[in-house]
Chains A and B, each alone.
Chain A
Amino acid sequence: MSRHGVGWRRYWISFQTIFLKEIVRFSRIWVQTILPSVITTTLYFVIFGRLIGERIGTMGGLDYLDFIVPGLVLMGVITNAYSNVVSSFYSSKFSRYIEELLVSPAPNWVILAGYVAGGVARGLVVGTAVMLVAMAFTEVRVHSLAVTMLMFTMTAVLFALGGFINAIYANSFDDISIVPTFVLTPLTYLGGVFYSIDLLPGFWQGVSLANPVLYMVNAFRYGLLGVSDIPVGIAFAIIAVFIVVLGAFSLELLRRGVGIKT
Chain B
Amino acid sequence: MTSSPIPSSKMSALSVQQLTKVYKGGFQALKGIDLEVEEGDFFALLGPNGAGKSTFIGILASLVNKTAGRVTVFGEDQDREPERVKSCIGLVPQEFNFNLFLPVVEVVVNQAGYYGIPRREARLRAERYLKLLDLWDRRDTEMRKLSGGLKRRLMIARALVHEPRLLILDEPTAGVDIEIRRSMWGFLRELNARGTTIILTTHYLEEAESLCRNIAIINHGEIAELTSVTSLLNRLHTETFVLNLKGRISELPQLGGFVLQHLDDCTLEVEMSREHTINGLFEALSRNGIEVISLRNKQNRLERLFLDMVERRGGAARPESEEAA
A99 to B158, CA, bound (A): 12
Looking at A11-19, A44-52, A177-185, A229-237, the stretch in contact with chain B turns out to be A11-19
A9 to B118, CA, bound (A): 9
B116 to A262, Cβ gap below 8 A?
no
A100 to B99, CA, bound (A): 10
Among residues 56 to 79 in chain B, which have CB atoms less than 8 Å away from a CB atom of chain A?
58, 61-65
Chain A residues with Cβ under 8 A from B117's Cβ? 4, 13
A16 to B158, CA, bound (A): 19
A262 to B82, Cβ gap below 8 A?
no
Is B229 interfacial (CB 8 A cutoff)?
no
Cβ-defined partner of A103 (8 Å) among B23, B63, B324: B63
A95 to B65, Cβ gap below 8 A?
no
Among residues 96 to 141 in chain A, which have CB atoms less than 8 Å away from a CB atom of chain B?
96-97, 99-107
Cβ-defined partner of A261 (8 Å) among B64, B88, B114, B118: B64
**Shortest Cβ gap from B55 to chain A (Å):** 8
A17 to B110, Cβ gap below 8 A?
yes
A97 to B111, CA, bound (A): 10
Is A5 interfacial (CB 8 A cutoff)?
yes
Is B5 interfacial (CB 8 A cutoff)?
no
Cβ-defined partner of A3 (8 Å) among B23, B87, B99, B114: B87
**Shortest Cβ gap from A215 to chain B (Å):** 36
A103 to B89, Cβ gap below 8 A?
yes
Cβ-defined partner of B113 (8 Å) among A14, A95, A96, A103: A14
Q: Which residue of B lies closest to A29 (CB)?
A: B101
Is B262 interfacial (CB 8 A cutoff)?
no
Q: Which residue of B lies closest to A107 (CB)?
A: B83
B86 to A104, Cβ gap below 8 A?
yes
A256 to B24, CA, bound (A): 14
B115 to A105, Cβ gap below 8 A?
yes
Q: Knowing A261-B63, A262-B65 are in contact, say whether A103-B118 is a contact too (CB < 8 A).
A: no
Chain B residues with Cβ under 8 A from A99's Cβ? 61, 63, 91, 93, 97
Name B's interface SS: loop
Q: Which residue of A lies closest to B97 (CB)?
A: A96
A4 to B87, Cβ gap below 8 A?
yes
A97 to B97, CA, bound (A): 5
Among residues 229 to 278 in chain B, which have CB atoms less than 8 Å away from a CB atom of chain A?
none
Interface residues in B, total, Cβ within 8 A: 35
**In this complex, which of B61, B83, B98, B101 has the most chain A Cβ atoms within 10 angstroms of its Cβ?**
B83
Q: Which residue of B lies closest to A261 (CB)?
A: B65
A14 to B324, Cβ gap below 8 A?
no
Interface size classification for chain A: 20 to 34
**Shortest Cβ gap from B166 to chain A (Å):** 12
Chain A residues with Cβ under 8 A from B140's Cβ? none
B100 to A2, Cβ gap below 8 A?
no
B100 to A95, Cβ gap below 8 A?
yes
Chain A residues with Cβ under 8 A from B113's Cβ? 13-14, 16-18, 20
Q: Knowing A21-B110, A262-B324 are in contact, say whether A4-B116 is a contact too (CB < 8 A).
A: yes
Q: Which residue of B lies closest to A24 (CB)?
A: B106
Is A10 interfacial (CB 8 A cutoff)?
yes
Among residues 97 to 125 in chain B, which have CB atoms less than 8 Å away from a CB atom of chain A?
97-101, 110-111, 113-119
Is B162 interfacial (CB 8 A cutoff)?
yes
A17 to B126, CA, bound (A): 15
A105 to B84, Cβ gap below 8 A?
yes
Q: Knowing A10-B116, A262-B324 are in contact, say whether A100-B111 is a contact too (CB < 8 A).
A: yes
Is A92 interfacial (CB 8 A cutoff)?
yes
A103 to B116, Cβ gap below 8 A?
no
List the 7 closest A-B pairs by CB distance, nearest first.
Answer: A17-B113, A10-B116, A104-B114, A96-B97, A105-B83, A4-B116, A105-B86
Q: List 26 A-B contacts (CB under 8 A).
A: A2-B84, A2-B116, A4-B115, A4-B116, A10-B116, A13-B113, A14-B116, A18-B113, A20-B113, A21-B110, A28-B101, A92-B99, A95-B98, A95-B100, A96-B97, A97-B99, A99-B63, A99-B91, A103-B62, A103-B91, A105-B86, A105-B116, A106-B115, A106-B116, A262-B63, A262-B65
Sample of 6 further A-B pairs with CB below 8 A, known A103-B61, A103-B63, A104-B114: A4-B87, A14-B116, A99-B93, A100-B97, A103-B89, A262-B23
